[in-house]
Copies of this chain bind each other. A is one copy, B any other.
């Protein structure tokens, strides 16, 4: 059974293809007599007509598809963003398609190219690097695109994200109030805004609180994964046991840090307090429950999708520029008051063997 085409429907309804097209399109339906509309609709229904989107797209250069480009769908950060975006897109007749880049620049450019070739109407991109010529290209092209979660320094594309700097500041202040003075930051890679800004916010917050920044005060992880966090923490622990708290740039990194501590017999929060960032799924159920910063991921998806749609439909001509959504510190069990006196003893004891 070959697919039924518009001509088939038109034929069945006894009208011309053009008329059938008008009858089926809500925007042009009024140009057609009510009975013709009904006849065409019934024929379409009866034959099970499904319009060929490629033919339509070729003609109209519209696809009603928005692509969401993520580095790794397995990172619990992205599914909520995807759902948020999908929700508003679906409501307005668009389909969201999700593509993964594995954190590889080549894959990323291939995917974006492929989506462009397919004529997607817009992009939501979650893979931005600080220096990202590919996205700058996208910015100068006519295809609407919005960045989410990370931005580029060139500012060539609008951005929606959580207020990361504030998030980190909240962590440092929380720890400072608990009496921690020697705090280490496990940073995300510095080629993305999430790495650089969080690290700089950390530095700033430490300065504001007049806390000393140790030599090993900021350690950059090679990726935003549990494994990379574990690695980084191992190295920190190998050369420095004088700190009492860790501000991780991300929940997954925090989990890795927890692992590295366990390996050398250190306990959280007894020996070292840890904070994460993102409040990913299940972070509340760990032991210890992770003190972290809640980022409104779903809302970010909603905002990003709304922004691309505005761009696509030129609905709202004022550019959004940067939009930072509010964040919130969630205190759980992974942070505890620094036991000023007993701590060095414990840490030393742990380091002993």
Contacts and interface: CB of A to CB of B under 8 A. Distances in A.
Interface of A: 1, 50-55, 57-58, 63, 65, 73-74, 76, 79-80, 82-83, 86, 90, 95-100, 107, 111, 113-119, 141-142, 255, 281-282, 285-287
Count of this chain's copies in the oligomeric assembly? 2
Nearest to A110: B90
Contact of A58 (B52, B83, B116): B52
Given A79-B79, A90-B107, 13 more contacts: A53-B114, A53-B117, A54-B63, A55-B58, A73-B73, A73-B79, A74-B80, A76-B281, A95-B115, A98-B98, A255-B285, A285-B287, A287-B287
A51 B65 CA distance: 18
Contacts of A79: 73-74, 79
A33 to B, nearest CB: 27
A98 B98 CA distance: 5
A65 B82 CA distance: 19
A95 B67 CA distance: 12
Contacts of A58: 52, 54-55, 58
A74 B83 contact: yes
A53 B50 CA distance: 20
Nearest to A258: B285
